[in-house]
Amino acid sequence: MTMQTPVRVSVSEAAKLFGISARTVRRAITNKEVTYIVVHGRYKINFESLLKWSQSSSTVRNKRDKAGIGQFVEQWRVKNTLYSPNSETLKSEENNKL
C-alpha cells in the first residue's frame, strides 16, 4: 500500500479555484469544515476536504460551477470522436493490427 501525498492549497488559491471569497474559505477553516495544516504561519488546506466541502454546500457548489474550476469541466470533454476513446474505433484498430 503506497501513501499518496495530499494536495494542499493556500486560502487564496482555494478561493480562486472555487470562485469564492477568501473570507468564505477562512470561515470553513474556523468551522472545521475542511482539514488543513499550518506551514510557516499560513493555512494549507487539503484539496480533497475542500472539494467535499464544496459539494456539501449548494451556495459554494454553484459558485464553483459558475465562477470557479467547474466552469471548465465541459470544455475538458473531448468532442472529436476521432480522439475519443470510442470502443468501435479501438476494435477496428485492433483488427487492422492483426
pLDDT confidence tier of residue 48, bands split at 50, 70 and 90 = very high
DSSP state for residue 32 in the 8-state scheme: T
pLDDT confidence tier of residue 86, bands split at 50, 70 and 90 = low
pTM above 0.95, yes or no: no
pLDDT confidence tier of residue 21, bands split at 50, 70 and 90 = very high
**Is pLDDT of 83 > 80?**
no
pLDDT value of position 85: 56
Neighbours of 9 (CB within 10 A): 19
Cell 501525498 belongs to residue: 5
CA distance 42 to 91: 52
Q: Give the bridge partners for 36, in sequence order.
A: 45
**Is pLDDT of 82 > 80?**
no
Question: Element (H or E) spanning 36, and its range?
Answer: strand 36-39
Say which amino acid occupies 89.
Answer: T
